[in-house]
């Protein structure tokens, strides 16, 4: 049976290219031989119509607002499981049995400490350093400490590096936070679950016992599940591209953190909260919606819109519910930022501009309100995103390394610069 193909006519010549079909979602046209056959490249800035790889990890249907991790709907995972279960699922492809889950939790727990010389590493930063700058540096620096898990050709070393990344991100994130507020680092405790351990490392002080609030731990754990992976987003693509050169996993994750920092990507949760604070009251929402619609105004509604979701981001729905749960647990009756956010959502979802451009709240729209209520400063929001997304990055990195067809990523270009010309001495220049 002949394989399905697509035909492209280039300079009056029909070029047959294989069409590959996945489990669900759009098929792809394999253009890998196009340049050899035609001498031409495809052109797709921002990769709006380009599949960079084949993956079995996460599936998004942007029109339907569907997000599946290894086939399981995000709503069900967020409702029934915990973050480490999601980590196991993303890494290994199946939900763990009780024994597998217990073993995985045990292994992660015992990798949560960082090399104690990392403490001195932090001392080099100014106290007012942005925690994301600290995270990019400290995660990249892990490759200076853990030489026994940087050989990417060794499956065992790849798994150890993966466990170390998942386990140490909360510890490094908490250290980044403590350092900026001038409080001593708090070491992890093995008798706490993953997210309670993180909350304690962030908010405990040596002067008194700290008991994590189970409702807040559960809420933050769910927020981590929502952020764990998201197909070939900008930071995941960055990790894959860095990994395709054979760079060690710590360096690849550091590259992903750097990319996530941008306000168009993971930095949007910090930017969204700043925007809500700038709007200040529900009465001023209309003024900002008008700015967002004004072609001559670069202002955008942060936390709105998405490259893939042209429907409500399913994570935003769960995020909104979690926001109300956290505010209620903390006894916060009326949060002015939430009032502004709810008014903004109401107005935008009825506005022709947003309807026509299919702009809906994304995961970053409500997360900031929740994290602020939990006690995190705005500068830590993207750090928490990076903490959660680490398992997605490392799972996608491992999938790429294990893909027999993978090769170094090296896109081409459309050159519109100067044609070839001879050197002119400075005496001959005008
Ligand atoms: C994340 O890729 C992922 O999966 C990312 C992520 C993940 O989990 O990894 O989901 C996490 O990054 C979520 C997105 C967080 N970013 C923001 O909230 C920043 C605000 N949103 C945007 O800047 C924008 O919507 C993007 C970057 C998210 C998506 O941009 P696209 O797909 O390149 O779309 P675009 O910029 O071409 O916009 C399409 C149109 C434009 O109008 P026209 O030029 O066609 O007239 O919609 C407009 C834009 O001006 N538009 C907005 C808008 N977002 C898009 N107008 C006002 N406010 C906005 N937020």
Domains in the chain, ordered, with CATH? 5-51 (2.20.28.60), 66-259 (1.10.580.10), 267-374 (1.10.230.10)
Mean pLDDT value of segment 328-353: 90
Q: What is the pLDDT of residues 25-39, one digit of tens each?
A: 999 999 999 999 999
Closest Cα to residue 356, out of 426, 305, 296, 408? 305
| pLDDT recorded at residue 428 | 95
Q: Is the CB of 310 under 6 A from ligand 1?
A: no
Report CA(400)–ligand 1 centroid distance (Å): 27
Total-model pTM: 0.94
Q: Is it the case that residue 1 has pLDDT exceeding 70?
A: no
Return the residue whose CA atom lies nearest to atom 7 of ligand 1.
Answer: 230
Pick the atom of ligand 1 nearest to 266's CA: 12
Q: Is the CB of 158 under 6 A from ligand 1?
A: no
pLDDT cut 70: percent of the chain above it: 100
Q: Where are the alpha helices (DSSP H) in 39-189?
A: 74-80, 83-92, 98-109, 117-122, 131-141, 155-181
In the block, which residue shows the tokens 């925690």?
131
Pick the atom of ligand 1 nearest to 227's CA: 8
By annotation, the residues acting in catalysis are 306, 364
Q: Is the CB of 149 under 6 A from ligand 1?
A: no
Return the residue whose CA atom lies nearest to atom 15 of ligand 1.
Answer: 265
For residues 99, 101, 107 and 109, what is the CA-based torsion angle, rounded to 10 degrees?
-130
pLDDT cut 90: percent of the chain above it: 88
Q: Is it the case that residue 325 has pLDDT exceeding 90?
A: yes
CA distances from 230 to 57, 70, 112, 299, 302 (A): 9, 11, 25, 26, 19
Return the residue whose CA atom lies nearest to atom 31 of ligand 1.
Answer: 307
Higher pLDDT, 241 or 311: 241
Q: Is the CB of 315 under 6 A from ligand 1?
A: no
Q: Is the CB of 304 under 6 A from ligand 1?
A: yes
| pLDDT recorded at residue 312 | 87
Q: Is the CB of 335 under 6 A from ligand 1?
A: no
Q: Is the CB of 301 under 6 A from ligand 1?
A: yes
Q: Where are the alpha helices (DSSP H) in 228-299?
A: 234-244, 249-260, 268-279, 285-293
Pick the atom of ligand 1 nearest to 362's CA: 13
Average pLDDT value over all residues in the chain: 94
By most ligand atoms within 8 Å of CB, the mutation choice from 305, 307, 347, 362 for ligand 1 is 305
Report CA(264)–ligand 1 centroid distance (Å): 7
Of the pLDDT bands very low, low, confident and very high (cuts 50, 70, 90), residue 311 is confident
Q: What is the pLDDT of residues 188-233, one digit of tens each?
A: 999 999 999 999 999 999 999 999 999 999 999 999 999 999 999 9
Q: Is it the case that residue 151 has pLDDT exceeding 90?
A: no
Q: Which two tokens stand for residue 21?
A: 């079909």
Report CA(75)–ligand 1 centroid distance (Å): 23
Maximum alpha-carbon separation in the chain: 78
Q: Is it the case that residue 44 has pLDDT exceeding 80?
A: yes
| pLDDT recorded at residue 426 | 96
Instruction: Please count the CA atoms within 13 angstroms of the CA of 55 that sit on its side-chain side.
Output: 30
Report CA(184)–ligand 1 centroid distance (Å): 39
Report CA(260)–ligand 1 centroid distance (Å): 14
Report CA(306)–ligand 1 centroid distance (Å): 4
Closest Cα to residue 282, out of 329, 337, 210, 204? 337
Phi, psi of 3 (to 5 degrees): -75, 145
User: Per-residue DSSP letters for 170-223?
Assistant: HHHHHHHHHHHHTPPP----TTS-HHHHHHHHHH-BTTB-----HHHHHHHHHH
Q: Is the CB of 264 under 6 A from ligand 1?
A: yes
The helix (H) or strand (E) run that includes residue 338 is helix 336-350
Q: Is the CB of 292 under 6 A from ligand 1?
A: yes
Q: What is the pLDDT of residues 232-263, one digit of tens each?
A: 999 999 999 999 999 999 999 999 999 999 99
Mean pLDDT value of segment 261-285: 94
Please list, in sequence order, all residues whose beta carbon lies within 8 angstroms of the beta carbon of residue 271, skipping any fewer than 6 positions away.
263, 302, 303, 364
Pick the atom of ligand 1 nearest to 307's CA: 32
Q: Is the CB of 324 under 6 A from ligand 1?
A: no
Q: Is the CB of 386 under 6 A from ligand 1?
A: no
User: How many CB atoms within 10 Å of residue 202?
Assistant: 24
Mean pLDDT value of segment 279-287: 94
Return the residue whose CA atom lies nearest to atom 41 of ligand 1.
Answer: 357
- Measured CA to CA, the distance from residue 72 to residue 81 in angstroms comes to 11
| pLDDT recorded at residue 62 | 93
């Amino acid at each position: 049976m002949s394989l399905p193909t697509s035909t492209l006519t280039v300079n009056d010549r029909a070029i047959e290219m294989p069409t590959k079909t996945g489990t669900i979602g759009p098929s792809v046209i394999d253009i890998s031989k196009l340049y050899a056959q035609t001498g031409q490249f495809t052109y797709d800035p921002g990769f709006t119509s380009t599949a960079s790889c084949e993956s079995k990890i996460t599936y998004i249907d942007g029109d339907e607002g569907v997000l599946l991790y290894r086939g399981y709907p995000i709503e069900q995972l967020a409702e029934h499981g915990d973050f480490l279960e999601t980590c196991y699922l993303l890494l290994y492809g199946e939900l763990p049995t009780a024994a597998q889950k217990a073993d995985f939790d045990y292994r992660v727990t015992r990798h949560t400490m960082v090399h104690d010389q990392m403490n001195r590493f932090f001392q080099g930063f100014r106290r007012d350093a942005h925690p994301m700058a600290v995270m990019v540096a400290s995660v990249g620096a892990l490759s200076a400490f853990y030489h026994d898990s940087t050989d990417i050709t060794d499956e065992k070393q790849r798994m150890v590096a993966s466990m170390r990344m998942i386990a140490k991100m909360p510890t490094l994130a908490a250290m980044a936070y403590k350092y900026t507020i001038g409080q001593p680092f708090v070491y992890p405790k093995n008798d706490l679950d993953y997210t309670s351990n993180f909350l304690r490392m962030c908010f405990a002080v040596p002067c008194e016992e700290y008991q994590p609030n189970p409702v807040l731990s559960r809420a933050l754990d769910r927020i981590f599940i929502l952020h764990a992976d998201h197909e070939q987003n900008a930071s995941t693509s960055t990790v894959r591209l860095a990994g395709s050169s054979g760079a060690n996993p710590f360096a690849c994750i550091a590259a992903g953190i750097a990319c996530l920092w941008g306000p168009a990507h993971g930095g949007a949760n910090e930017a969204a909260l700043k925007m809500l604070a700038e709007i200040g009251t529900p009465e001023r929402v209309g003024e900002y919606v008008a700015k967002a619609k004004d072609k001559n105004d670069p202002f955008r509604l942060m936390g709105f819109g998405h490259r893939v979701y042209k429907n409500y981001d399913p994570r935003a729905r769960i995020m909104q519910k979690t926001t109300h749960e956290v505010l209620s647990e903390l006894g916060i009756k009326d949060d002015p930022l939430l009032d502004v956010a709810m008014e903004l959502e109401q107005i935008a979802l009825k506005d022709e501009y947003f309807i026509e451009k299919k702009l809906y709240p994304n995961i970053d729209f409500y997360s900031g309100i929740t994290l602020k209520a939990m006690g995190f400063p705005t500068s830590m929001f993207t750090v928490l995103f990076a903490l959660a997304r680490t398992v997605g990055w490392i799972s996608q990195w491992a999938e790429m390394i294990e893909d027999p067809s993978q090769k170094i990523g090296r896109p081409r270009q459309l050159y519109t610069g100067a044609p070839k010309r001879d050197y002119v001495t400075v005496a001959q220049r005008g």
